[in-house]
Amino acid sequence: MAQRSSNPNPASELEKFIKRAGAERYVLRLYVVGSTPKSAAAIANVRTLCEEHLAGRYDLEVIDLYQQPAEAKNAQIIAAPTLVRQLPKPPRRFIGQLANKDRVLVGLKLQPQAQDDFESNDDGTQWIKL
């Protein structure tokens, strides 16, 4: 009778990760400032990423801080563009144009991370600078 190895099958672990990520609904907020090239790039990058990896299971709200300045204070936004993943928990914040697709996918937990390069606040919110 063959004995099972104590090392888990990496392919099996990846399949479990993908199934878990595939079942969750994502609630995202993208904070931008006006119709600048950086804002336009961030919006395009997030929409493309969401359609490729979260089709049918995400809500994305784009908030222009020029039009709604109180939102910056309410959401504690200190730089723009900033993407906030509200769900699944814990919240994560991404600052920048979100052009580094691999880092965004890791941050959204849509791709396994090789190392923990996120900073956490006291409230549990995790930050990643892109």
Q: What is the pLDDT of residue 56?
A: 94
Q: Of the candidates 24, 106, 114, which has an alpha carbon nearest to the alpha carbon of residue 128?
A: 106
Tens of pLDDT, residue by residue over 48-86, are: 999 999 999 999 999 999 999 999 999 999 999 999 999
Residue 101, in any domain of the structure? yes
Which positions ≥6 away from 2 have C-beta within 8 Å? none
* pLDDT attached to residue 4: 46
Q: Exposed, middle or buried by CB within 10 Å (0-12, 13-18, 19+), for 107?
A: buried
Q: Which of 123, 122, 124, 127 is nearest to 93 (CA)?
A: 127
Domain membership of residue 13 (yes or no) is no
Task: Note whether residue 106 is domain-resident.
Answer: yes
Tell which residue, 58, 75, 67, has the closest CA to residue 39.
67
What letters, b where the CB count within 10 A reaches 16 and e where it falls short, cover 59-70?
Answer: ebebbbbeeeee
In a domain, 100, yes or no: yes
Q: What is the pLDDT of residue 118?
A: 58
Q: What is the pLDDT of residue 106?
A: 86
Give the per-residue pLDDT at 16: 60
Q: Which residues of the chain have pLDDT under 70?
A: 1-22, 113-120, 124, 126-130
Report yes or no on 125 lying in a domain.
yes
Whether 4 maps to a domain, the answer reads: no
Query: What pLDDT does 114 receive?
Result: 54
Q: Is residue 83 helix, strand or coil?
A: strand
H helix intervals, 54-100:
70-74
Asked if residue 15 belongs to a domain, the reply is no
Q: Supply the CATH number for residue 125's domain.
A: 3.40.30.10
Q: How many domains does the chain have?
A: 1
